[in-house]
Amino acid sequence: MSVKVNPDKCTSCETCVSTCPFGAIEMRDGRAFITENCTVCGACVEACEFKAIERTGEEAVAAATDLSAYKGVWVFAEQHKGAVSSVALELLGEGRKLADKRRTKLSAVFIGHGIKDKAKDLIAHGADIVYVADDPALRDFNDDSYSAVLTSLATLHKPEIILAGATAVGRSFIPKVAAKLYTGLTADCTALDIDPASGNLLQTRPAFGGNIMATIVAPNHRPQMATVRHKVMKKAAPDTSRKGDIVDVKFTTAVDMRTRVINTVEEVGETVNISEADIIVAGGRGMGSAKNFQLIEELAKVLGGAVGATRGAVDEGWVPYSHQVGQTGKTVCPKLYIAAGISGAIQHLAGMQSSDVIIAINKDPHAPIFSVATYGIVGDVMEVLPIMIKKFKEMRG
Amino acid sequence: MNIIVCIKQVPDTSEVKINRETNTLIRDGVPSIINPYDMYAIEEALQLREKHGGKVTAVTMGPPQAAEALKEAVAMGVDDVVLFSDRAFAGADTWATSYVLSRGIKKMGEFDIVIAGKQAIDGDTAQVGPETAEMLGVPFVAYVRKIEKVDIGAMTVERMMDEGFDIVETKLPVFITVVKEINQPRLPSLKGKMKAKSLKVATLTAKDIGAEENFCGLKGSPTKVVRIFPPAPRGQREMLSGTVDQQVDLVAKKLKEQTLI
């Protein structure tokens, strides 16, 4: 595949130069020139008003895999200490839609120990089949054993799609499975769909710190694999009358486990994982001091939400790093995000701008945070927050 | 101890701005830097060398100009660098990148630890580390925030998890990715800068590392980008007015309507 410029049609408008997300187009001799940084994404093809840019040879890649042999949508159903992760249920909700569009079955892969009685919950949330690998050796997450189970199941049953949560666990071992299966993996998808023409999975994700969106496909490889963050997809309401098959998977202890978890430490005060919170109250440097930052904690408590922070507030030492939202912290997608004393640096916006409702409180009416705020309050946080705390407290009785 | 650091040259995304009229990236004058997370990888490798002796080699896959990133690593104190560069590598996704890195690292001989940053800030996938580890056939530990101890043939580290951290023992050789909590990267030294200035970066091609072109670059990549577009602008936005009391009342009313409170 390659992208070519027709010099007779190029008008030197340079639209393509600024459109290219990879900086791979230069002007040479008054015409657009595609450099070797080109990834053949086709953004310039769409952007050129003069149809001077073409993408050629798309059919040239030979299909090495018999794609029709791959059927069914799979979800890796992550659990912690026997409790099914909320992202797994969200993925079953999305997986159900994809499976219905493909007129195929939805299966869950459930790995752990003492978890078998939870398999019916996965069926209630949309799975037709649950593969349960329940073994004492699988109690703790282990890159080697978890990837061995999923890889061998996928090799045996040949699913066309595998979805997993973009959690610490998923991001650690799912790429190993993709590497082994020689297939594509798309991280942190924010939208999934089926291309009606080809049947391929359309995987859309943000790139360049959320500045652009890219839709990615794996046309000639199976399974098509994708990870999705917490809260991006919607859970289906559980239906306990749904019927499904629970299939026991025997775990062979012959897997060479080269790493071993000696101890797991849950951090004190870390009662809410911010990636899973429905409501987040976050503060930035504009809070001014550790003492003032307590207002953030108080409001979060009143709303039953979690505390978030910008890198600035974390660097000041007002709150631990595990609360940091943004490109170097966590990406969150709650129903409500209250940003107090946060100016809205692009790295912070990248981590929270897909929240459903955003309320921003800032003294500066031109602060960039207002560009993503559903409701903007211009004012001093020290004045606004106490009033909010009082009012919301009254409302919640 | 033989340590390899995988780094990536990336555009400084904090400098990337959006042209709000055309919704395109403004890349003019955006500097190329070493992926910030890889700086922690370099620092950790240097600290391991200081404690246990040995050699640190930084590697990257990229176009010829990626040699600049390797020179910066030399200025910080790494002993040696290798650039994997070939036109056949262009357009690689994470699978094809990992293929080249694993081939190249194997070609370089025995190693004890490979270290990389947890992810690169341009793609944010965090996939090349674990995929490369798998292809090298070595164990993998993600999100390392501390190396507790290194023994013969084994190492103990702290791995950040969503709800805290794990203490993990791993066999060597191993591939780890590190988070920013692990250290504070040093600045380049004058001596290092001098060394970097005169350095001729060793470059290995697909043929040199025995990589099959069918598995490299765009051709070897399972994934293809089919569309690039600006993110959808956020829905309704409203700047409130009135006294603080009135504004808070209004917000409370809206949240109540949407059953958020």
Cα distance between residue A161 and residue A186, in whole Å: 12
Is residue A22 over pLDDT 80? no
Helices A168-181 and B94-107: crossing angle, nearest 10°? 80
Cα distance between residue B189 and residue A126, in whole Å: 58
Cα distance between residue A249 and residue A376, in whole Å: 53
CB of A83 within 8 Å of a chain B CB? The answer is no
Is residue A74 over pLDDT 50? yes
As given in the structure block, the two tokens for residue B51 are: 């404690």
CB-closest option in A18, A275, A384 to B248: A384
Using one digit for the tens of pLDDT, what is the confidence trace for A320-333? 888 999 977 888 99
- In the stretch 302-321 of chain A, residues with CB closer than 8 A to chain B read 303, 321
CB of B172 within 8 Å of a chain A CB? The answer is no
- Give the model's confidence band at B13: pLDDT under 50 very low, under 70 low, under 90 confident, else very high: confident
Which among A308, A281, A273, A307 has a CA at the least distance from the CA of A87?
Answer: A273
Cα distance between residue B24 and residue A266, in whole Å: 42
Using one digit for the tens of pLDDT, what is the confidence trace for B66-112? 999 999 999 999 999 999 999 999 989 999 999 999 999 999 999 99
As given in the structure block, the two tokens for residue B198 are: 């005169």
Strands B174-178 vs B113-117: parallel, antiparallel or unpaired: parallel
pLDDT at B25: 62
Strand partners, A357: A336
Query: In angstroms, what CA-CA distances link B22 with A26, A317, B17?
Result: 18, 39, 12
B234 contacts: CB under 8 Å, gap ≥ 6: A353, A358, A371, A372, A374
Cα distance between residue B124 and residue B259, in whole Å: 34
Using one digit for the tens of pLDDT, what is the confidence trace for B220-248? 999 998 888 887 777 778 899 999 999 99
CB of A378 within 8 Å of a chain B CB? The answer is yes
As given in the structure block, the two tokens for residue B28 are: 């003019």
Q: In chain B, what residues touch A214 (CB-CB under 8 Å)?
A: 225, 227-228
Amino acid letter, residue A133: A
Using one digit for the tens of pLDDT, what is the confidence trace for B193-202? 999 999 999 9
pLDDT at A59: 42
Give the closest-approach CA distance of A147 to chain B in angstroms.
Answer: 10
Rounded to two decimals, the ipTM of the complex is: 0.91
pLDDT at A63: 45
Cα distance between residue A284 and residue B53, in whole Å: 42
Question: Would you say how long chain A is, in residues?
Answer: 397
- Give the alpha-carbon dihedral of A285, A291, A293, A296, to 10 degrees: -160
- Chain centroid to CA A267: how far? 24
Using one digit for the tens of pLDDT, what is the confidence trace for A39-65? 777 778 878 889 899 877 544 344 456
Give the closest-approach CA distance of B112 to chain A in angstroms.
Answer: 14
CB of B10 within 8 Å of a chain A CB? The answer is no
- Residue B105: enclosing H or E segment and its boundaries? helix B94-107
